[in-house]
Structure 1
Amino acid sequence: MITAKTPLEARLNKEIASFLQNPRVQRLHFGIKKQVSYDDFLTDKMLIIAAIRAGIPYSLFTLIQNHTPFSENDWADFLDISTKSLHRYKTSDDHYFKAIHSEKIIEVAEVTQVGLDVFGNMDKLKLWLNTPNFALGKLKPIELLKDSYGKELVINELTRINHGILV
């Protein structure tokens, strides 16, 4: 039995389980356990690859979006699409993001998950993400999340903070 701390996490767990049973994902990854939590999903690179290739459905994106400290404008910037496109996708009954967008959605979800592990709550994480950081070239961590290399720098800095290594 998978337990969730909040109602949003419970909905994320349910949506992930449903998504992973989707034939789009099943044809790309064999042996998916019946119940995979959101946390389990974000730590299983093979599941992530299958999800990226299948495309993240808008319904899952909405839950992930609500589980992060980022605005709709931030998401549009990360995905390099307009907010108008995001609204159009929302009205579609069965929109699946392209692989390039799906990968970015998961990357931002990973940063959020690591950040929550480090700071313990969304407000502290949001403050850290929007504060210039000396170790990151005096840039705000949020400014680095548009690129995969920037995302890695942010995750590495969060890991150092978690281990008490302050630069």
Structure 2
Amino acid sequence: MNSHFTQYRPSKASAAGFWQQIGLPARGRRLHELLHEGVEYRVYPKLAKMSGIEQKSLARYVDIPSATLSRRAKSGRFKMAESDRLYRFAELFKAALDLFEGDADGARAWLLAPNIGLGGRRPVEMSATSAEYQTVLNLIGRLEHGVSA
């Protein structure tokens, strides 16, 4: 199998609008700078709303304890590692949204359901590490190209 079939490639047409709505650049130097500086807290509720996942649940999925989340709400900014996990979750949601052709309910349902291609794990639980995140993106890439999961 060619490796290009296993890689997720974001849809360019809808990418900009998604990232604008949550308040992050999609790619490039400014994104890298923001991740190092720490993503502003205001991105978090927008991401939760857009994904349709309750804020407390989202915090669990991205491995941010509730006490830490409260501190970040007060300080107004996440730490670099937390920002990276939030970005990975946003990427996963965006990829699922592309897979379901913009259907947020379908994307959310897919992310929340156990998946045989992930050994029975739920995709939403796999944004805490880069290896897990890449596994989900690869699965989405295979699904988009009709390769069995």
User: What band does the TM-score fall into relative to the shorter chain?
Assistant: 0.7 to 0.9
Which runs of structure 1 show a deviation greater than 6 angstroms over 4 or more consecutive aligned residues? none
Q: How does 1:82-161 map to 2 (within 5 A)?
A: 82-90=65-73, 92=74, 94-120=75-101, 121-161=103-143
1:155 alignment partner AA = L
Q: Following TM superposition, by how much is the alpha carbon of 1:134 offset from its aligned partner in structure 2, in angstroms?
A: 1.5
Gaps of 5+ in 2: 1-13
What do you get for the CA RMSD once the two structures are aligned?
Answer: 2.4
Distance 2:83 2:113 in 1: 27
Query: Are the structure 2 counterparts of residues 69 and 156 from structure 1 closer, same or farther at C-alpha, using a change threshold of 3 Å?
Result: farther
Query: Are the structure 2 counterparts of residues 83 and 151 from structure 1 closer, same or farther at C-alpha, using a change threshold of 3 Å?
Result: same
Q: Which has the higher contact order (CA 8 A, sep 6+)?
A: 2
1:118 alignment partner AA = L
2:36 alignment partner AA = R
Residue 61 of structure 1, aligned match among 44, 50, 55: 44
2:40 alignment partner AA = P
TM-score, normalised with respect to structure 1: 0.68
Distance 2:49 2:135 in 1: 24
Max radius of gyration: which structure?
1
Of 67-76 and 114-123, more deviation after overlay is shown by 67-76
Distance 1:68 1:97 in 2: 19
Query: Are the structure 2 counterparts of residues 139 and 47 from structure 1 closer, same or farther at C-alpha, using a change threshold of 3 Å?
Result: same
Q: Following TM superposition, by how much is the alpha carbon of 1:147 offset from its aligned partner in structure 2, in angstroms?
A: 1.9
Question: Sequence identity of aligned pairs in percent?
Answer: 23
Would the aligned equivalents of 2:36 and 2:80 in 1 still touch at CA under 8 Å? yes
Distance 1:73 1:15 in 2: 17
1:13 alignment partner AA = Q
Query: Are the structure 2 counterparts of residues 145 and 79 from structure 1 closer, same or farther at C-alpha, using a change threshold of 3 Å?
Result: closer
Distance 2:39 2:112 in 1: 27
2:42 alignment partner AA = S
Q: Following TM superposition, by how much is the alpha carbon of 1:141 offset from its aligned partner in structure 2, in angstroms?
A: 1.4
Q: Following TM superposition, by how much is the alpha carbon of 1:112 offset from its aligned partner in structure 2, in angstroms?
A: 0.9
Q: Following TM superposition, by how much is the alpha carbon of 1:123 offset from its aligned partner in structure 2, in angstroms?
A: 1.1
Gaps of 5+ in 1: 17-37
Aligned length: 133
Would the aligned equivalents of 2:41 and 2:77 in 1 still touch at CA under 8 Å? yes
